[in-house]
Structure formats: structure tokens, C-alpha cells
Amino acid sequence: MDSPDFTRFSVGLTGGIGCGKTTVADLFAARGASVIDTDQIAHALTAPGGAAMPALVAEFGADFAAPDGAMDRAKMRALVFADPGARTRLEAILHPRIREATAAAALLATGPYVIFVVPLLIESGTWRGRVARVLAIDCPEEVQVARVMARNNLPEAQVRAIMAAQVSRAERRLAADDIILNDDGLDALLPQVERLHAFYLDEAARLAGLPNERL
Ligand code: ATP
């Protein structure tokens, strides 16, 4: 399936670690957008009883399931870090299931448009063609480092290592249709969210062939 939902206007929201994806997505959700978080979906697939667990155990062995039946994340992280082939096998199991679950969630969405939160949207390559707009949450790298160090209690080097595995700020900005700059307090976010929400409502209405007020 190429599109999560052909009938609905959809936005892919992305951004580097700590740039404020969740913060901004919550603001759109508060205005009525249907927000679907692909990280949450991936997590649910590998939680106890998760739909990907039987295939993961068949592929990697029962050792990769923790006693509660969830994926042993530390063990899997260590494996895929050391073995790129294992990462490919893991992604072959997870990616189609994430795609299927996001499509199912989009079909159930009741908002006027859908926002998919996809941290590695630009890196993954497949999402660009599935959404009408790519929205990047943008902030200076120093702000990212400070926020993630504070939130996750991580040393600076570890935060920078995670950032090094993601596209650069400049590349993300170039790939985006829309950008929200999140380098200040929440007050600075609101007008940017309001403006884009109004634009997305208009685009959704245009796609549906309806005047905006009927959405
Ligand atoms: P991740 O990539 O780790 O999932 P994220 O991009 O979803 O992160 P958030 O979790 O929304 O980012 O924000 C990271 C941290 O920075 C959080 O602790 C959040 O409360 C804080 N934060 C985000 N935006 C702002 C802001 N404008 N003012 C103050 N704090 C902020």
C-alpha cells in the first residue's frame, strides 16, 4: 500500500530528537487533528502480546523476548548495532506491520485531517510519497542537545551520537514543505500551529471538495 489513506488529507510530522515533535503534535491534536504516532505503534507491536512478537521470536529466537513477552529492547539494540543484517531482518518484520497499523488507524481517524508523527520520515524514504505535506519541527542543535540531556539525563556525547545518526537540520529543512521553529517557549509555537492548522483545514476541505465549515 502506497498511501495510509488516500481519502484523507495527511501530514507527516518529523524532526530531530528533542526538537518538539510530541509537544507540537499535541497542540495540533488539541485543535482537532487526528494524530497517529508511529513510534507508539512500533512500541505496541513489540509490547507483551504485540502483533510482531511471534514473528520476532521465530526470526531471532525466544531469547529476544523478555519474561513478560515484550521484545528485549536492550538485547535487540545491541544486536542490530553490531550486525546491520540483523537490523534489516528486524525492519523487514516491523516496517510492513507499522505501515498496516498506521493505515488502519488512519481509516478510523475522525478528525478533518491526519498527522502522522514519523521521527525518521526523511531518513526512511518511503513516507514522503504517502503524505500530502511534510512538516519539520526545527530547532538549533544546541537546543536539541540541552533538551534531551535534561529530559533523558544523558551525557552530551550520547545525545550527539543519536543526532549523528539522523539527517542534519539543513537536510530536514530542505526536505520539508512546512517548518515550525521551536527554539523558544510555548508561546512562540502557538501562532505557528494556528497558521498551519488553518492551512491544513483548507487543504483538507479542498481535497474533500467541501467548504471548510462543513468539515
Ligand atoms: P523525541 O525525538 O525524543 O521523541 P520530541 O521531538 O518528541 O522528542 P518533545 O518530547 O516534544 O520532543 O520535546 C523534548 C523536550 O523538550 C520535552 O521535555 C519538552 O517538554 C521540551 N520542549 C519542547 N518544546 C519546548 C518549548 N518550546 N519550550 C520548552 N520546552 C520544550
Q: Which of 37, 121, 147, 187 has most ligand 1 atoms within 8 Å of its beta carbon, as the pocket-test mutant?
A: 147
The top-level CATH class assigned to 1-33+111-209 is alpha beta
Q: How far is the CA of 30 from the centre of ligand 1 (A)?
A: 17
Which pLDDT belongs to residue 214?
A: 47
User: Does the C-beta of 19 come closer than 6 Å to ligand 1?
Assistant: yes
State if pTM tops 0.85. yes
pLDDT in tens, 95-109: 999 999 999 999 999
Ligand 1 atom nearest to 183, measured from its CA = 27
Three-state DSSP string of the chain: CCCCCCCCCEEEEEECCCCCHHHHHHHHHHCCCEEEEHHHHHHHHCCCCCCCHHHHHHHHCHHHECCCCCECHHHHHHHHHHCHHHHHHHHHHHHHHHHHHHHHHHHHCCCCCEEEECCCHHHHCCCHHHCCEEEEEECCHHHHHHHHHHHHCCCHHHHHHHHHCCCCHHHHHHHCCEEEECCCCHHHHHHHHHHHHHHHHHHHHHHHCCCHHHC
Percentage of the chain modeled with pLDDT above 90: 83
Confidence tier at 213 by pLDDT (50, 70, 90): low
Q: 136-180, pLDDT tens digit by residue?
A: 999 999 999 999 999 999 999 999 999 998 999 999 999 999 999
Where are the CATH 3.40.50.300 domain residues in the chain? 1-33+111-209
